[in-house]
A and B are shown apart, each in its own frame.
Chain A
Amino acid sequence: MTAILLQFAHILLVVALAPLVTGWVRLVKARLNGRCGPSPFQPYRDLYRLLQKEAVIAHSASWIFRAAPYVTFAAVWLAACIVPTFTTDLLLAPAADLIALVALLGLARFWTALAGMDVGTAFGGLGSSREMLIASLAEPAMLMVTFSLSLLSGSTSAAHIAAFVLSGGIGLSVSLGLALAAMVMVAIAENGRIPIDNPATHLELTMVHEAMVLEYSGRHLAMIEAAGMVRLTLFMALIGCLFMPWGMARPGADLAEIAIGLGAFLGKTFALGTVLALFETSIAKMRVFRYADFLGGALLLALLATIFHYVSEAV
């Protein structure tokens, strides 16, 4: 019964919190740039404004173009349902492990990329093509991170790994550090952040994700934007739950522990948001064909995490 309640609370929390997290990152970035920046609640207003506007779609668009924003949003939301935030006691946790999580995000990307090609413009295709290039390297890296985590903890379920780390099963280890580094690189790529992509740009040649969704307007654009916000929150929750699950409530926790878990999650998320803003402000975007070096590096780090685990076991 508690698992059902907690699951519902969790489902609503990720969606309700996602715009605030994005707003927070934007605010910190603005401050670092010496601007005052909009309120962190601005994304809520933006989304509401977009919902009120009529949607304009091209003559050549098919039903895929209209369905894609909803499918993308639902897939990302579904993925977010199974990543523990403040408690590991989730009803849906056994429905999908990390491998399925990667695939659910892949489903969202599949639809967005198709929507990018649907109208038949040069920019849309350019965005889709580059997005799939990034995915073709980021997905294997993420799966190899999963591999090394499953070696360390014996499971690929996010809730199980969090519980395992919480119970002191994994000490500080080189493999974990390498896996974390790879995971962060994948998260940057998956969310289209600098140095892979720039979420704020509308300069034609540097766009990837923005080029793909260039044709969207109104409520469709709102769904695409919201999906991006939930995805960012999801990855922060994922890094929080896999590598620093401290404070998270366990099955059978009382109200106080759940409140602590909630506080810890909020603290971790906003701290990670600040780190992201700092990181994005301090480096420049890279050229498209350097992505392979960056993400290939992530894949290699994840493989090294596995190898180091063997070495530490053998010694």
Chain B
Amino acid sequence: MLIGALGTLLVLAFLGAVLGRDKRTPALVHAGCLVASLALLASGLGHLGQPTDAATTMVLPIGLPWTQAHVRVDNLAALFMVIVNLSAAAASGFGIAYAGHLPEPRRVTPFFPLFLFGMNAVLIADDAFTFLVSWEFMSLASWALVLSDHTRAESRRAALVYLTMAAFGTFSLLTCFGVMAGPGGDYTFAAMRAHSLGPVAGSLAVLLALLGAGSKAGLVPLHAWLPLAHPAAPSHVSALMSGVMTKVALYALIRILMDLRGDVGWEWGAVMMVVGGITAVLGVLYAVLQDDIKTLLAYSTVENVGVVVIGLGLAIAFKADGKTTLAALALVAGLYHAINHSVFKSLLFLGSGAVMTATGQRSLGVLGGLLNRMPWTGAVMLVGSAAISALPPLNGFVSEWLIFRALFKGPTLSHWAMKFGVPVVGALLALAAALAAAGFVRAFGVAFLGRPRSAEAAAAREVPAPMTAAMAVLAVLCVVLGAIPVTVTKALDGVIEPLTGVRFSVSANLGWPWLSPVSSDWGSYSGTVLVLVGLSLFTFTIALVHRLGTRALRRADAWDCGHRESLPDAQYSGQSFAQPLRRVFAATIFRARERVQMPEPGDCGPATHEVSLVDPVWQGLYASIGRLVDYIADRVNHLQFLTVRRYLLMMFGTLVFLLLVVAIRQQ
């Protein structure tokens, strides 16, 4: 079934390319993708239900003449297949109606199935060769999708930056696998698992894995391409890039650090926690200040990847310290957050696609009042915003709760660096969570509430049913994954046991609806009970109020302290909402400066208000690298204009040098 579904995706890509001219092709191809992803989802779920150590392996005669493609599905791969194909199914369903609205569907249709194929193939690869080829499939297909709207200059720039970073990432991973394969060069994962590395080679492999997978996942400072590329693609592809492709990168990280190399030291756990903490805070700070909905969502992806990496780093640190139960808790927390993020981020990106379909706009500055015009999209976006703000009883809160639980046990680690570092990472995580709530109150409030700020927003209509249905499925999942956390953690048991060595039921102590990790005295949580009690209190309150008081309701003009204003521009905008946060948090990090210019008395010109921000990572790191490359290129440029004599001299010098090298090697 697995291979059949993957084959179907390839056939669909071919059909999309050949039959591109037909108007019905985009809808057909996306419908085919929906079926294929549902099949892959079923096969992933089916595998998760099997015993822990069950793994399906296959050897396919594909590849270079002397290699074969090794395929293996174990529980970790099956879990990520579920994550990938759940969102893929929703995005395909959304795409059935959405792809027709795109300016150039022919540039999207063939690459969408290829992108899905690449992501699934990465997950089942069992040798470095298959893994890297599939990884490139995923990267290049998504690159083509980023470039689908090639008439916009930003898209072209985004695609260029993305291609550069993707090449860097693949190069790092290639070298990483090279180091792990050792001089024997056996490229299968089974051989790498058996192979043990020295301290230097081991650290090098971990560093390269972090660079390679981290650049795809969007860890600071390798995140620079992500907020450019993810928003540039069509929205249902953005949903997959942000919600799912980053998860494939995290899968690579887990596969390499916790499976292929089982003995990563606690120092790397500490590094990952610090990087994760910084990524989370910087990502959300960027997000709070954005005006473009899709860029805002992409930056929020950076934040959530940071949160997951904190969980993974903590798991590695606990495991290296011999505390396997706590390692299992941290890993469950990280994986749970990965699942949750794929669900609500896909939902939010699809919602942004719906907003763009209805209004043609994606800037907060021209939206507003959409909830009254697009009730379904508004409702599901509300669920998504609440979930990503980590509010109970939705799913985002459960995983953040688990990560906090694991972090709060960080002081039991034996190294003092970790003891002191853990509270700081905890504070960073708490700050990121609180800022995320502020950011999504802002995004949802400005776009969906208030009065419309433009004619397009005022004329918005609800999107077609397949689009709302795809979003509604994800919104329901946000609620379900939050309301029955214990069922989810039980299902994760089989995934973490091979990695941490313990079979760990987080709900061991208090039984079903209570999530009480490790010991019942530690503090527990039950989404199920909170939902039931909360709903009864809510109903009781409404019933009581309506019984005690009047139900009379009158519509009138807004009160607004007596200021009667009709201009919608007088409302709080995204910019003004972010102003206090910008002043408090961004003044030092982003060197945010405001300049107000008032016209002279008697001058009828408008007053202006300018805000300038400096991106520390782009300016500090990427711009300097760019300048360095320019400088070297400038110097090397002279080599093009030498005389023949000089060239001959240089060739002679090179020959002598190489002969010397050979001579030294011979001794």
Contact = CB atoms under 8 A, between A and B. Distances in A.
Nearest to A217: B559
Contact of B434 (A73, A126, A135, A222): A135
Given A52-B550, A129-B572, A123 B525 contact: no
Contacts of B521: 154-155, 157, 160
A120 to B, nearest CB: 3
Nearest to A78: B534
B175 interface: no
B437 A147 contact: no
B584 A133 contact: yes
Interface SS, B side = helix
Contacts of B446: 117
B537 A58 contact: no
A113 B426 CA distance: 26
B581 interface: yes
A300 to B, nearest CB: 9
A146 B405 CA distance: 11
B386 A110 contact: yes
A129 B510 CA distance: 40
B524 interface: yes
B639 interface: no
Contacts of B371: 62-64
A45 to B, nearest CB: 13
Contacts of B437: 106, 109-110, 132, 135-136, 139
B438 A56 contact: no
A223 B545 contact: yes
Contact of B529 (A56, A95, A124, A140): A95
17 contacts: A64-B371, A78-B534, A81-B537, A103-B391, A103-B397, A106-B391, A110-B391, A113-B441, A120-B369, A123-B563, A132-B437, A132-B442, A136-B431, A150-B408, A150-B522, A160-B521, A289-B583
B516 interface: yes
A174 interface: no
Contacts of B419: 310
Contacts of A292: 584
B80 interface: no
Interface string B501-518: 000000000100010100
A288 interface: yes
A162 interface: no
B552 interface: yes
Given A74-B537, A99-B523, A139-B434, 6 more contacts: A121-B559, A123-B561, A123-B563, A126-B572, A129-B578, A147-B426
A90 B25 CA distance: 61
A269 interface: no
A285 interface: no
A201 to B, nearest CB: 12
A70 interface: yes
Contacts of A55: 552-554
Interface in B384-439: 386, 389-392, 397, 401, 404-405, 407-408, 411, 419-420, 423-424, 426-427, 430-431, 433-435, 437-438
Interface in A20-58: 48, 50-58
B529 A60 contact: no
Interface in B518-532: 520-526, 529-530
Interface in B530-556: 530, 533-534, 537-538, 541-542, 545, 548-550, 552-556
A117 B442 CA distance: 9
Given A62-B372, A120-B568, A214-B559, A306 B541 contact: no
Interface of B: 368-369, 371-372, 378, 382, 386, 389-392, 397, 401, 404-405, 407-408, 411, 419-420, 423-424, 426-427, 430-431, 433-435, 437-438, 441-442, 444-446, 449-451, 510, 514, 516, 520-526, 529-530, 533-534, 537-538, 541-542, 545, 548-550, 552-561, 563, 565, 568, 570-573, 576-581, 583-585
Contacts of A129: 442, 572, 576-581
B570 A122 contact: yes
A66 to B, nearest CB: 8
A8 B520 CA distance: 23
B441 A114 contact: yes
Interface string A98-132: 11100110110110011011111111111011101
Contact of B522 (A71, A154, A222): A154
B468 to A, nearest CB: 17
B538 A94 contact: no
A213 to B, nearest CB: 11
A228 B529 CA distance: 24
Contact of B553 (A57, A147, A214, A288): A57
A225 to B, nearest CB: 12
Contact of B523 (A54, A98, A106): A98
Contact of B438 (A123, A135, A222, A288): A135
B553 A94 contact: no
A146 B583 CA distance: 28
Nearest to A134: B580
Interface in A170-219: 204, 214-215, 218-219
Contacts of B523: 97-99, 150, 155-157, 160
B408 A100 contact: no
Given A114-B444, A289-B580, A303-B427, A97 B524 contact: yes
Interface string A245-268: 000000000000000000000000
Contacts of A310: 411, 419-420
A154 B408 CA distance: 9
Given A74-B541, A132-B441, A150-B408, A156 B572 contact: no
Contacts of A106: 389-391, 434, 437
B549 A70 contact: no
Nearest to A127: B572
Contact of B450 (A113, A117, A219): A117
Contacts of B560: 119, 121-124, 214-215
A299 interface: yes
Interface in A159-175: 160
B556 A58 contact: yes
B280 to A, nearest CB: 12
A96 B411 contact: no
Contact of A59 (B378, B430, B538, B555): B555
Given A95-B525, A130-B580, A214-B559, A136 B434 contact: yes
A147 to B, nearest CB: 6
Contacts of B510: 94
A3 interface: no
A97 B571 contact: no
A144 B423 contact: yes
B571 A78 contact: no
B548 A48 contact: yes
A51 B548 contact: yes
Contacts of A241: none
A135 B390 CA distance: 14
Given A58-B558, A64-B371, A74 B530 contact: no
A90 to B, nearest CB: 12
Contact of B525 (A96, A125, A135, A144): A96
A279 B524 CA distance: 35
A156 B516 CA distance: 11
A136 B435 CA distance: 5
A244 B538 CA distance: 31
A119 B371 CA distance: 12
Nearest to B446: A117
Contacts of A60: 369, 372, 450-451, 558
A13 B404 CA distance: 31
A151 interface: yes
